[in-house]
Amino acid sequence: MGPPVRVGVLALQGDFREHLAVLRRLEVPAQEVRTVEDLEAVDALILPGGESTTIARLMAKSGLDRVIKKRGEAGMPLYGTCAGLILLAKELVEDRPQPLGLLDVTVDRNAYGRQVDSFEADIHIKSIGPFHAVFIRAPKITRCGPSVEILAEHDGAPVLVRQGNLLGSSFHPELTDDTRIHEFFLSFLGKP
Amino acid sequence: MAQAERGTFRVKSGLAEMLKGGVIMDVTNAEQARIAEEAGAVAVMALERVPADIRAAGGVARMADPKKIKEIMDAVTIPVMAKCRIGHFVEAQILEALGVDYIDESEVLTPADPENHIDKWQFKVPFVCGARDLPEACRRIAEGAAMIRTKGEAGTGNVVEAVRHMRLMNKQIREVVGASEEELVQLAKQWGAPLEVLRLIKQEGRLPVVNFAAGGIATPADAALMMQLGCDGVFVGSGIFKSADPERRARAIVEAVTYYNDPHKLAEISEDLGEPMRGIEISELAPEELLQTRGH
């Protein structure tokens, strides 16, 4: 057995503390990632909810965008929630911000509407089961590439998708006490 | 088909969770809003005038013209907040109808009903409210506020009051955490703070909602100071667009909130930003000129 795996949470802005709390509950060694050096210490990375324009700007400024993309392409597990999903996407409907271009989906940032349209709903996740999902100014996935597996839908739109080592959700499992999606993501670490 | 529930407390406080580690900037027109978004603001506060100008203008300060708010909402993709007067629930209804993402029931505007704050449970849109201490924060939370900010002293460019309010809140949270149930009942009476909210604070060891700092933040170091004191993010009102180089200062404050614990980075970030807003010494203000004492 090698050293225990460490999971990073991108901590430039957003609800990274909630993701760290979930990982702590699962007793997984975890740490905040704010710099390129921080990223070197982790084996997987969660991109949290937050404001995607803000996080994208800080990623570019710190050089984290390039190294996250590189490691994502090399197989490091990456999970993006909400803003994190926007950042992982290959393509956005709007011209801003600049996404990492890893996950072969098109995302429409404000398609679900403004805050008064934010909602909670029960969804069904393939091989996980029923799940209570919280959507906050959520981004909508409008196109999935052939290698993308849709794991859950709401109202006809994909809301949880996987492409190999990449996972993305338009909702926030970290805002509930349900740790099953995080556990599912951690299972990516066992497989090449 | 799956049912969707809107306007729950979880989605209201949830948006505040997403704003954490970020900077919310006051803007008075579309151009400023774009500058703020470009600089990395997590949200903008749409206003007729920034607090420093409200202070200078005097008279009654009210909710901004809906036309102005719509212009700002059209200009950016990040959340847009707007202020209503304390107790003015019709201004709040109008802001909700406009579709703003957060309402600030704010002491920066002239209170409409100093005795009764808005019953915020009646709204689908979330509210942020100012507080000078923990009891005030508890009262706002009991009324339905989904986010709290320290009041500080808006429009002064002087961080001293924000620091005072944050330190007091931290001290009172420690007091609540250490209190027995009997002592909690006593604190609730003594402070005029709802017992239920105090119990939540004791249980979680912190405020049950996100708490930003506001009122006097003018430099990256001010912002980092408030973050090190334990706030979740900052509001910058006059501090950006009353400075010599708003774009640069805005970017610098955004970075300072991310790297608030790294003095070397803060040194880089703080370099060569041009003149900050001039600022006011609090003791030069007459008691009736203070905004923080509005509301209770």
pLDDT in tens, B271-288: 999 998 888 888 888 888
Domain that residue A171 falls in: 7-189
Asked if A47 has any chain B CB less than 8 Å from its own CB, the reply is: no
Compute the average pLDDT of residues A44-49: 98
Percent of chain B residues topping a pLDDT of 90: 87
Residue bearing the bigger pLDDT, B160 or B278: B160
Asked if B146 has any chain A CB less than 8 Å from its own CB, the reply is: no
Compute the average pLDDT of residues B57-79: 95
According to the model, what pLDDT value does residue B2 have?
Answer: 55
Cα B53 to Cα B163: distance, rounded to the nearest angstrom: 23
Residue A106 belongs to a domain: yes
Compute the average pLDDT of residues B11-21: 97
According to the model, what pLDDT value does residue B1 have?
Answer: 44
Residue B132 has pLDDT above 60, yes or no: yes
Helix (H, G, I), strand (E, B) or coil at A157: strand
Residue A88 belongs to a domain: yes
Residue A81 belongs to a domain: yes
Residue length of chain A: 192
According to the model, what pLDDT value does residue A192 have?
Answer: 44
The closest CB to that of B20, out of A14, A58, A122, belongs to A14
Active site residue A174: yes
Cα B168 to Cα B186: distance, rounded to the nearest angstrom: 19
Q: What is the mean pLDDT of chain A?
A: 95
Q: Which residue has the tokens 């001290």?
A: B171
Q: Which of A2-6, A88-92, A125-129, B235-239 is predicted with the least confidence, judged by mean pLDDT?
A: A2-6
Are B18 and A96 in contact (CB < 8 Å)? no
The closest CB to that of B11, out of A53, A83, A119, belongs to A119
Q: How far is A94 from chain B (nearest CA, A)?
A: 10
Which amino acid, B287?
P
Which pLDDT tens digit goes with each residue over B26-41?
A: 999 999 999 999 999 9
Banded pLDDT at A110 (limits 50, 70, 90):
confident
CATH classification of the domain holding A43:
3.40.50.880
Residue A2 belongs to a domain: no
Compute the average pLDDT of residues B193-209: 96
Are B21 and A12 in contact (CB < 8 Å)? yes
pTM for this predicted structure: 0.96
Residue A1 belongs to a domain: no
Residue bearing the bigger pLDDT, A192 or B109: B109
Helix (H, G, I), strand (E, B) or coil at B262: coil
Residue A187 has pLDDT above 60, yes or no: yes
* Nearest CA-CA partner of B47 in B59, B29, B31, B71: B29
Catalytic residues of B: 83
Residue A121 belongs to a domain: yes
Sort out which chain A residues have CB atoms less than 8 A from B125's CB and list them.
115-116
Compute the average pLDDT of residues A144-156: 97
The closest CB to that of B42, out of A13, A96, A134, belongs to A13
Among candidate residues A19, A82, A154, A182, the one labeled active-site is: A82
* N-to-C CA span, chain A: 15
Compute the average pLDDT of residues B112-138: 97
Banded pLDDT at A190 (limits 50, 70, 90):
confident
Residue A1 has pLDDT above 60, yes or no: no
Please identify among residues 55-114 of chain B the ones whose CB lies closer than 8 Å to any CB of chain A.
77-79, 96, 99-102
Are B21 and A94 in contact (CB < 8 Å)? no
Residue A51 has pLDDT above 80, yes or no: yes
What would the two tokens of residue B39 be?
Answer: 């600089």
Percent of chain A residues topping a pLDDT of 70: 97
Residues with Cβ within 8 Å of residue B275, at least 6 apart in sequence: B243, B244
Among candidate residues A19, A154, A174, A182, the one labeled active-site is: A174
Structural contact between residues A181 and A173, judged by C-beta atoms closer than 8 angstroms: yes
Are B22 and A154 in contact (CB < 8 Å)? no
Q: How far is B6 from chain A (nearest CA, A)?
A: 4
According to the model, what pLDDT value does residue A164 have?
Answer: 97
Asked if B42 has any chain A CB less than 8 Å from its own CB, the reply is: yes
Inter-CA distances, A141 with A27, A109, A192, Å: 32, 9, 27
Nearest CA in chain A to B38: A53
Residues with Cβ within 8 Å of residue B37, at least 6 apart in sequence: A53, B44, B75, B76, B77, B78
Structural contact between residues B126 and B103, judged by C-beta atoms closer than 8 angstroms: yes
Banded pLDDT at A191 (limits 50, 70, 90):
low
Sort out which chain A residues have CB atoms less than 8 A from B7's CB and list them.
116
Cα A86 to Cα A108: distance, rounded to the nearest angstrom: 8
Residue B216 has pLDDT above 50, yes or no: yes
Structural contact between residues A68 and A101, judged by C-beta atoms closer than 8 angstroms: no
Query: What's the total number of domains in chain A?
Result: 1
The closest CB to that of A136, out of B5, B11, B254, belongs to B11
Please identify among residues 211-270 of chain B the ones whose CB lies closer than 8 Å to any CB of chain A.
254-255, 257-259
Compute the average pLDDT of residues B36-60: 93
Question: From the candidates A9, A34, A35, A51, which should be mutated to test the interface with B, based on the most B CB atoms within 10 A?
Answer: A51
Are B6 and A34 in contact (CB < 8 Å)? no
Q: What is the mean pLDDT of chain B?
A: 95
